[in-house]
Chain A
Amino acid sequence: MSNDKIKAPKEPLFSKKNKKLVTEPLDDNNPLTIQVLGICSALAITVSIEQALVMTGSVFFVLGAGNMIISLLRNLIPSRIRIIVQLVVVASLVIIVNEVLQAFLPDVAEKLSVFVGLIITNCIIMGRFEAFAMANKPWPSFLDAVGNTVGYGIVLVLVSLFREVFGAGKFFNVPIFGDRIEGTGLYSIGYMDNNFIILAPFALFAVGLIIWIQRARNKSLIEEH
């Protein structure tokens, strides 16, 4: 380590700068709607709210732990192989999540099946490792993970809420419009679930709508051409 370090005054745990790390990804710098990362998983697992929440939880674990590990190792990682090191960290954390889900929450693990493994390819995670954790201390890195996961989770839950209610006629796996097969409740007066909403392409429209609304509300997000 270098010997001529000037001791900086200790930063409070929730300084303005640190708070910004959490709040910024929620809106102005949302990983999904602004940076348009992690779209793949947003299309795949947003058919039910439960899946969206479990996915968010899993991503939180992987990103939170991964950001801290990378941040702790940032001065040791040889720059030539840093991407590989990041990949190893993500992959092993994801394997741990998968194993734990299979052991303790087999029903959820079955529903998410391959998508847990696909967290590895979630661009948000590698993006945060490379852009933030490689250059910052563990605590800010952890806050960065919190902000980004919540920002990601909000969009997932919004999309899945819409898809589950209008696509499957359910809310948290509970039918809310009556029984589709028996034709009771709303179904008796001709209401039908829109099967298209269940399919992945619809999630793309939903995410697009969210991006539209967000940009209409916040003009500073609109790029100039």
Chain B
Amino acid sequence: MAVNKDSNGYTFLFAITLVVIVGAGLAAVSMGLKPMQEKNVEIKKKMDILGALQVETSRTDATEQYDKYIKSDECVVINSNGDVKEGLVAFDIDIKKQYRDKTLKPSDRDFPLYVAEVDGSVKYIIPVVGSGLWGPIWGYLSINEDKETVFGATFDHKGETPGLGAEIKQAFYYEQYMGEKISSGGDFSMIKSVKDGSGKDLGKVDGITGGTITSKGVEEMVNRTIEVYVKYFNKI
């Protein structure tokens, strides 16, 4: 039987069949690979957290190292006033999602705090999230036992300009945060991004040449987040 391929009926039938087959196929692939993808995301998060503690990890040993350093039962989630929110698990809070969610007021966001022990001393790890030039930027800051000095930091980004804003990922940039003060005597102090080369001074870091908007984004994200945690640190 000859089929008229130009008829409307055939065209619709072809389109519907194609879409059903393709849709089912893609759904199957997506569901089949989902567990592995989620595991990769989780491992990446653990690597980032450990990175702020200056612990070198690879994808293979991230979970093991995480369990070794992070004291999961001491991690807490706080609200924007610095009070502990009960019943939440710090690792499960997706602050990137909350940051993107425009219906959620900034004051209603959750602030997870990780507690770790490195070489016998306690470290606090603060996740930060903000906006760069082209998309989201995020990172982790670890704070010393004195709850004032920054011990380490890592930053990452989704699509900042290579060679410019993307350099926030590099050691020369995030290492500037080491030793900075987030508060003194309980008062929150800002870490400013500067362009006059005075980044060696306390309370200042050098921005990236040609990456001003990304550098300012990091500055905004770090200070906005730290302010909340300082409130919490003052209460404990």
Contacts and interface: CB of A to CB of B under 8 A. Distances in A.
Contacts of A174: none
Contact of A81 (B14, B37, B159, B162): B14
B40 A88 contact: no
A95 B26 contact: yes
B194 to A, nearest CB: 19
Given A88-B18, A92-B25, A99 B33 contact: yes
Interface stretch (A10-18, A100-108, A134-142): A100-108
B6 interface: yes
A113 B134 CA distance: 13
Contacts of B11: 78, 80-81
Contact of B37 (A76, A89, A102, A107): A102
B30 A76 contact: no
Contacts of A64: none
B163 A198 contact: yes
Interface in B39-78: 40-41, 43-44, 59
Interface residues of B, number: 30
A99 B37 contact: yes
A195 B37 contact: no
Contacts of A92: 22, 25-26
Nearest to A182: B172
B159 A85 contact: no
A47 interface: yes
B17 to A, nearest CB: 10
Contacts of B171: 181
Interface in A59-81: 76-81
B163 A79 contact: no
B5 interface: yes
B40 A195 contact: no
A114 interface: yes
Contact of B163 (A76, A113, A199): A199
Contacts of A198: 162-163
A176 interface: no
B15 interface: yes
A25 interface: no
A167 interface: yes
Contacts of B22: 88-89, 92
Given A79-B6, A195-B163, 12 more contacts: A77-B14, A78-B5, A80-B6, A85-B18, A88-B22, A95-B30, A103-B37, A104-B36, A106-B43, A106-B59, A110-B44, A113-B158
18 contacts: A47-B163, A79-B5, A81-B11, A85-B18, A88-B19, A88-B22, A89-B22, A92-B22, A96-B26, A99-B33, A100-B33, A102-B40, A106-B59, A107-B59, A168-B163, A195-B163, A198-B162, A199-B163
